[in-house]
Structure 1
Amino acid sequence: MKFKTHLIAAAALCAAAVSVQAQTVRIANQGDSLSMDPHSLNESLQLSVTGNVYEALVGRNKDLSVAPGLATSWKQTSPTVWRFELRKGVLFHDGTPFTADDVVFSFARTQVDGSDMKSYTNDFKEVRKINDHTVEIETKAPFPILPDVISLVYIMSKKWCETNQATRPVDRRKGVENAASFRANGTGPYRLRERQPNVRTTFIRNGAYWGKIDGNVQEVVFTPIGNDATRVAALLSGEIDVMEPVPVQDIDKVNGSANAKVLVAPELRTIFLGMDQKRDELLYSSVKGKNPFKDKRVRQAFYQAIDIEGIQKTVMRGASKPTALMVGPGINGFVADMNKRLPFDPEASKKLLADAGYPQGFEVTMNCPNDRYVNDARICQTVAANLARVGVKINLAAETKGTYFPKILRRDTSFYLLGWTPGTYDAHNALNALMACVDDKGAGQFNLGAYCNPEVDKLTRAIQSETDKPKRNKMIVDAFKAHADDVGHLPLHQQSLAWGVQKNVDLVQLADNFMPFKWISVKKSGA
């Protein structure tokens, strides 16, 4: 009998161990979230990670439609005023109650120097407190898509930020850090337990969370693994449970393994190249006294020198869709009929360069991340090789995103690669952030080459306030056409998502490449 009791006890211990193991998920990415500050960098990975700790007034459902978040409801009380009723009984992770004061503070925080979220709130006239659980947002002009726009503007605790000298966001351009870089105090379903930048970040389930957590995960261990082969090996060995991205060349290998699989789907992100079109003399170039990128013929020559079909076939192995637009399918305002690229034509490229006064080409530095997008460094290498064939010598500067983003966000670049997913899932976001003339309020905040066309600007402002959908969509077409006619940027492709997961893991793969921990479950061994 005693022996039997020991067996039962041992079995119980094993079951408990399996249960604990099943409630931990280990996630690896090729790069790290650069900060825990939700306003310091408008980058999908950082917003995805911090979005498990912090929340916005408006959230997203599994189909990316808007859902109540820290606001339970909202309505327009006039063409330029939105009223939001705030959720009651919500606590920040330190136990402080969430109120309207935190909302007013957080929106103001997005507009100060150092914030990377200005483009989401640049057209706000005032955010005001009506009472502890009601706020109004007044905009400078009618803004019918405002709830969609603020779904990535996360709310911070006013009291916590003041206590920890973190009332301003950390400035990624200057390398300045503060308490919000390494610590976090949100209202979200997970709490930050440990932060070791570029090594490991650990989150634990928030037992006092106001909402429903569908998954069973109690602990999330997030680890950056930059080397593709090491990351794949960790998945195949069971060392990690989820990885992103799976290199396109390893998808079949992972799918052929016993315990892991790859989830592949289209992503809303567009990968493109930008050029400095503002400086009178181009930096990091052999051309002195002028800026060749100010000449449309040069921009078009670069465009037509790029073999995008070759990139799709050899670099992306079919896991991309070449594009002529700065937004892709799935974004409101995308028009398939407009998505026709200029032809790949090196001879036409050479003639355009000669006509612009550069018959022998010229030399310029290209900035590129090597751990942010799918095969980003290889894409840049291929673009450099393409341009070499028409006489342009590219000095490729590929680096980790930790140093890459601060550099290009300072506009310390002549030619760069960037990816963009409109956080509103609407074309206005790309127009306002990427193509609008740069101002000090947030318009054109990621228009890092300072492209400027007053007609595009005028249309962008009109699109923001237009409520008639057919009329609005026609304006979007006109704005995209004007930008394309200018060759304002060089769109490349939409990349595909490829997440590697253990077969005992259930999660939701969103087209914006966000990964909510609250929708992840790990099945028990043998289940």
Structure 2
Amino acid sequence: MKRWIPLLCAVLCVGAHAQTLRWATQGDAQTMDPHSQNELLTNAINGQVYETLVNRDKQLGIEPVLATEWQQTTPTQWRVKLRPNVKFHDGTPFTADDVVFSVQRAREGTSDIKAYANALGEPKKIDALTVEFNLPAVNPIFLQHATLVQIMSKTWSEKNKVTKPLDFKNKEESYASFNANGTGPYMLVSRAPDVKTVFKRNPAWWGKFDGNVQEVVYTPIKSDPTRVAALLSGEIDFVLDPAPQDIARLRGTPQVKVIDGPENRIVFIGMDQSRDELLYGSVKGKNPFKDQRVRRALYQAVDIETIKTKLMRGQAVPTGGITSSPLGAFNDPEIEKRLPYDLEGAKKLMADAGYAQGFEVTLDCPNNRYINDEEICQTLASMWARLNVKIRVNAMPRSTYFPKVQKFDTSMFMLGWGGSITDAEVTLTPVLRSRGEGGIGAWNFGGTKDAKLDELAAASSKEADPKKREQLIKAALREHNEQVLNIPLHRQVIPWAARSNVDVVHRADNWLEWRWVTIR
């Protein structure tokens, strides 16, 4: 009996533990407000609590969620039927009022997804379970935009005075910073930013769980070695972003497995091309980044193969494209083709532009957002030193980095852009077009302005004919590349690492869906 009791206890303990998913990445969600920040980890964590009208299945196809049916009644009108008998976590019923409220909230000036919410048009309640969307123009990817606006409770938001998204870049906090009330499969239990966030399964969720996870404990662990050590020791079950240099060791470790897959995400360098003098540069009275020859010289001085092989250990796909996936450019090899690495040519371009002696500038980088983000910036600094361009790398946590660049307080910056949508629209409108109303150009932190690109991109946003639209998109992307408005680096390859008893579904948008996780 003395031996049997501990054994039974051990079995019960394992069984109980198998219901808890403990996972980590290098950063943390920025806020629990689902409309305040458009950043993948923030969206993915909030997306377990808040649901959208339609969303992505395991292969990234569109599937019904809070909407059960939809119909395009005219070229500029969609009618959506809502799922009956759905309740928010506080027990209040989900209705059309919540959809109308959420889309309007997501269009507010402090929303970071307003470009996508505006693309849905004007929502109108028809009855308790029907919403009509009236668009100012045709939206060729209406349903894909609908996957990006998470639905909040109108009643809860009014009660807690969070009817507008919090202004994250100006350090505003609200009840929605630390509390949440969605319709999704998991409920927020506790929130300690940069320390630990805990969730539990929603027992009243309308959907079906494919996995067995009852509780989720998320812990940000900035240090790569510490994160991997926690996985190896069994302290955590899953790591979303193991460092490339650790992959070979993890593959050879019993009780651990690596799940590989490409990510729909382009990593690139942007430059301030709007100011007449850089905020953080040595050149006075003019801005070297306004000169296409300087931008091209920096591009051609990037030895991308060295970054791929030495720094990324092969976990990167170099490209000359600027969309999150080659699909965004319709797999056009010319649009995807990089400018050649040509150091001597780059030096000549710098001399022709009048900068043979180079200049100094600060490069803002996150240090816990993309794979090897700070290391890439340091590597670029050493490469650009050969052009006599002295780069001061200003690396910082994502919680500091994003508010800084969102205020356009930058002269040069690293950005990664991607997600579940591979269509070029979600790059062209928020990232590449000139800054405008309704979220257009909201992520164009370099303030680039190109009339030809703007005209082509704007036309593609409302072109119903697929062939005509393809030509408009390709022409806009070619214009971006010819003008070297940004310097593309690579698309990330994302290996996930897990304990061998943990089964997950790897998607190309780097989104961990908890309801699909099984811990054996």
Q: Same fold (TM over 0.5)?
A: yes
Aligned to 1:272: 268
Could you give the per-residue CA deviations for residues 264-311 of structure 1, whole angstroms, max 9, x where no partner exists?
Answer: 111111000101111121110101112111111111111111111111
Residue segments in structure 1 that go unaligned for 5+ positions in a row: none
Measure the CA separation in 2 of the matches of 1:313 and 1:252: 14
Q: How does 1:80-119 map to 2 (within 5 A)?
A: 80-119=76-115
CA distance in 2, matches of 1:498, 1:124: 34
Task: Select 2:510's aligned residue among 507, 510, 513.
Answer: 513
Moved more, 345-354 or 327-336: 327-336
Q: State whether residues 152 and 423 of structure 1, in contact with CA within 8 Å, keep that contact through their aligned partners in structure 2.
A: no
Amino acid at match of 1:379: I
Say if 1:422 and 1:430, in contact at 8 Å, map to a contact too: no
Match status 1:250 vs 2:258 = no
- Partner of 1:152, secondary structure, is coil
Paired with 1:44 and 1:331, the residues of 2 have a C-alpha distance of 20
Residues 324 and 422, structure 2, Cα contact 8 Å, conserved in 1: no
Partners of 1:467 and 1:270 lie apart in 2 by: 27
Deviations, residues 488-514 of structure 1 (Å, cap 9, x unaligned): 111100011011100000110110001
What secondary structure does 2:297 align onto?
helix
> Using the alignment, how far apart are the partners of 2:132 and 2:458 within structure 1?
21
Contact 1:265 1:498 in 2 (8 A): yes
- Return the TM-score normalized by structure 1: 0.96
Query: How many residue pairs get matched?
Result: 519
- Tell me, in whole angstroms, the C-alpha distance in 2 between the residues paired with 1:435 and 1:209: 39
SS for the counterpart of 1:407 is: helix
How far has the Cα of 1:440 moved from its partner?
2.4
Q: Secondary structure at the match of 2:245?
A: helix
Shift of 1:124: 4.5
Identify the residue that residue 164 of structure 2 maps to in structure 1: 168
1:15 shift after superposition: 3.5
Q: Is the 8 A contact 2:120 2:142 kept in 1?
A: no
- SS of 1:224's equivalent in the other structure is coil
Q: Which residue of 2 aligns with 1:285?
A: 281
The one of 410, 413, 418 aligned to 2:415:
418
Q: Does 1:129 align with 2:125?
A: yes
Deviation at 1:12, TM superposition (A): 5.3
Q: Which of 61, 65, 71 pairs up with 2:61?
A: 65
- Counterparts of residues 378-417 of structure 1 (less than 5 Å): 378-417=375-414
Q: Pick the aligned partner of 1:315 from 305, 311, 314.
A: 311
- Give the AA of the match of 2:152: M
The structural deviation recorded for 1:423 is 4.3
Letter in 2 for 1:93: H
Equivalent position SS for 1:389: helix
CA contact 2:27–2:220 (8 Å) conserved in 1: yes
Give the Cα separation in 1 of the matches to 2:237 and 2:120. 42
* Distance across 1 between alignment mates of 2:196 and 2:493: 26
Partner of 1:299: 295
- Aligned positions of 1:17-96 closer than 5 A: 17-96=13-92
Alignment partner for residue 213 of structure 2, among 217, 221, 246? 217
Query: Aligned letter for 1:73?
Result: E
Deviation at 1:344? 1.1
Aligned equivalent of 2:431: 434
Q: Indicate if the aligned counterparts of 1:242 and 1:502 stay in contact, CA closer than 8 A.
A: yes
Q: Does the Cα contact within 8 Å between 1:370 and 1:377 map onto a contact in 2? A: yes
CA apart distance, 1:121: 2.1
- Report the counterpart of residue 147 of structure 2 in structure 1: 151
- The CA distance in 2 between the partners of 1:164 and 1:480, in whole Å, is 44
Q: Hey, what's the Cα distance between the residues in 1 that align with 2:465 and 2:356?
A: 49
**Given the two structures, how large is their TM-score scaled by the length of structure 2?**
0.97
CA-to-aligned-CA distance 1:400-419 (integer Å, 9 cap, x gap): 11100110111100100000
Q: Report the CA distance between 1:127 and its aligned residue.
A: 1.2
Name the CA distance, whole Å, in 2 between partners of 1:206 and 1:47.
19
Give ranges in structure 2 of 5+ residues lacking alignment.
Answer: none
Residues 327, 334 of structure 1: 8 Å contact kept: no
Task: Identify which range, 293-302 or 412-421, moves more after superposition.
Answer: 293-302
1:451 to 448, 453, 462: 448
Matched, 1:377 2:374: yes
CA RMSD of aligned residues (A): 1.5
* Distance (whole Å) between structure 2 residues aligned to residue 324 and residue 120 of structure 1: 26
Q: Distance in 1 between matches of 2:245 and 2:204?
A: 43
- Greater mean deviation of Cα atoms: 224-233 or 455-464: 455-464
Q: Which region of structure 1 is more displaced relative to structure 2, 374-383 or 165-174?
A: 165-174
SS of residue in 1 equivalent to 2:494? strand
2:210 maps to 1:205 = no
In structure 2, the partner of 1:482 is 479
Alpha-carbon distance in structure 2 between the residues aligned to 1:489 and 1:10? 62
Alpha-carbon distance, 1:69 to partner: 1.0
- Secondary structure of 1:105's counterpart equals helix
- Percent identity at matched positions? 49
